[in-house]
Amino acid sequence: MYLVTADEMKEMDRRAIESFGIPGRILMENAGRGATRFFLDRFRDIGSRRIGVVAGRGNNGGDGFVMARYLAQKGIRVTVYLLTESQKVTGDAAANLSLLLPLKVPVIEIPDSKSFSAHKTEMRHEGIWIDAILGTGLKSDVKGFFKEVIDFLNQSRRPVFAVDIPSGLNSDTGRPCGICIRADATATFAFGKTGHFILPGAEYTGTLKIIDIGIPPYIAEEVNPRQHLLTPDMIRSAFQARSLDIHKGHTGHLLVIAGSPGKTGAAAMTAISAMRAGAGLVTLGTPASLNPILETQVTEVMTEPLPETRESVLGEASFNRIMALLPDKRCLAIGPGIGIDPETKTLVQRLLQESNKFMVIDADGLNCLIGSTEILKNFEKPAVLTPHPGEMARLIGTTAADVQKDRIQCARDFAQKFNVHVVLKGARTVVAHPDGRVFINPTGNPGMASGGMGDVLTGIIAGFLAQNHSPELAVRAGVYLHGAAADALSKNKGPFGYLATDVANALPETIKMLSGSV
């Protein structure tokens, strides 16, 4: 499912109008009519409540004028509060504003803060607000009396229905531009915007409905948006039925290099999750002194005691043995619980440079790359990196807060620059590929905020790679499945308190559900 940026949507509108020949006023009519249908479906108990439409001077306001017209024609009491002077409204928006006069829809001009103060008392009597102030093109912070109006609507304790996007929300990043409408529901047009789905934008958007306004599909294909929402249809091929004569040798062999004193659980969860995701064989390489512990934690996984340092961590002494283990493996997963001892860092960097396998790099494997990310560009096969915001910040030399300001662009820039697949973890995980495509994952919930969840994800992705799926499919399917399994647990067990091992154990049943077998 396409998700579009403001510029991509603007280009689709332009082509629909100029090349295909749909008048802009028709697109606006379709938008306002569809939004009204959703509004009435959302607020079925509207009764005698008054509706206030707060509109700006642009096309977003024009969509609001169309909604006001349709509501008035249904006998609903509606008032338009225009945040400018009528003569400053132009184009299609002006044409729709003029249609309100014969319907006797009140239009109150509020061009400045003084006028707004004068009308606040009557505005407090409105029962539901329709936000048609600012559209998807907003990039800078909301200032002036528009900021006052948005704050007033948020404080009104009345439901707010947003037209296209909540005013003040950056439609590309999902970040508020200083202040933002907190909508109960939003009707957006043609395609969802990335800001609707990435956090915190999804929280400001409320219930979202995408309204078809008549833009031909071929125009979207020509513009070719680079953002997508992950859906089950996109990843179902990863769960296809196996042939009757398949055996463990056909379903792949994964090598996991993980663990250090106090962190054997990370190693075990990664290995077990890979098998839960369908890998036929998993070998877990870990410091020799930890091997007896891990042998009791994993039953189906083979373990390999590796030479270790005096601190019982992996170092260069284990390099040759690991390289000897690699030839018959399809994938190498490295990093969970491995530590950041200087000798471990040297080992990790050398393995990454000399292995020719698909690789999943997580946790301390990423920390061992700090200051040496250039080596990623030389990989024979693009690696998969699974950082959380803090790890991503350390890789690029910034702060987690800066990463969170634009998760999509941060992940995309890194993936393209270093020719890797990036899984930027967190609420609404972002998957970015080397070609610039980005996928937003809708699955997962706050109950996943507990230790070990990342180790399980690493194992799932590596398990899919071991089964010979493409990196693109392995990453997308792994991320979606991981969140979906947690969603099932949240629904059945409670909103939190389930463990990462519970998520791993829930994988087979979730795979069954996603495959369409139930």
The predicted-structure confidence for 450-472, as pLDDT tens digits, reads as follows 999 999 999 999 999 999 999 99
The DSSP string of 48-64 is: T--EEEEE-SSHHHHHH
Domain ranges of the chain: 2-229, 246-514
Taking a C-beta distance cutoff of 8 angstroms, is the pair 251, 293 a contact?
no
**Cis? peptide before 200, omega within 30° of 0:** yes
**Other CB atoms within 10 A of residue 33 CB:** 16
C-alpha 204/C-alpha 184 separation (Å) is 8
The mean pLDDT of 200-225, rounded to a whole number, is: 97
Q: Give the tens place of pLDDT for each residue, 268-277.
A: 999 999 999 9
Whole-prediction pTM: 0.93
CA 4, CA 194: separation in Å to the nearest integer? 6
CB 183 within 8 A of CB 87: no
* Measured CA distances, 81 to 123, 169, 209 (Å): 9, 20, 24
* CB count in 10 Å sphere of residue 309: 17
Helices and strands of the chain, counted as H and E runs: 22, 19
Q: What pLDDT shows up at residue 363?
A: 95
Three-state secondary structure string covering 191-216 = CEEHHHHCCCHHHHHCEEEEECCCCC
The CA R_g of the chain, rounded to the nearest whole Å, is 27
- From its phi and psi, is residue 192 left (phi > 0), alpha (psi between -120 and 50) or beta? beta
How confident is the model at residue 101, as a pLDDT? 95
What's the rounded mean pLDDT across residues 78-92? Answer: 97
Is pLDDT of 517 > 70? no
Would you say 230 and 431 are in contact if contact means Cβ atoms under 8 Å apart? yes
Q: Which fold has domain 2-229?
A: Rossmann fold (3.40.50)
What CA–CA distance (Å, rounded) separates 465 from 362? Answer: 15
The confidence score (pLDDT) of residue 368 equals 97
The closest of 195, 20, 29 to 11, measured between CA atoms, is: 20
Tell me the percentage of the chain whose pLDDT exceeds 90: 94
CB 48 within 8 A of CB 74: no
Residue in the block written with tokens 């990790």 = 348
Residue 244: its pLDDT value, please?
Answer: 87
Mean pLDDT calculated for residue range 177-189: 97
C-alpha–C-alpha distance, residues 504 and 485, integer Å: 8
Cα–Cα distance measured from residue 369 to residue 348, given in angstroms and rounded to the nearest whole number: 8
Residues in the chain: 518
- What SS3 state is found at 72? helix
Q: Can you name the residues that pair with 287 across neighbouring β-strands?
A: 306
Residues 6+ apart with CB under 8 A from 262: none
**How far, in Å, CA of 374 to CA of 371, rounded?**
8
The 10s digit of each residue's pLDDT in 248-300 is 888 899 999 999 999 999 999 999 999 999 999 999 999 999 999 999 999 99
Rounded Cα distance between 89 and 87, Å, is 5
CB neighbourhood size of 109 (10 A): 16
Would you say residue 518 has pLDDT above 50? no
> pLDDT tens digit string along 3-46?
999 999 999 999 999 999 999 999 999 999 999 999 999 999 88
* Both structure tokens of 328: 């018959």
Spatial distance between the Cα atoms of 184 and 36, rounded to a whole number of angstroms: 15
**C-beta separation of 116 from 90 below 8 A:** no
Mean pLDDT of the chain: 96
Superfamily of domain 246-514: Ribokinase (3.40.1190.20)
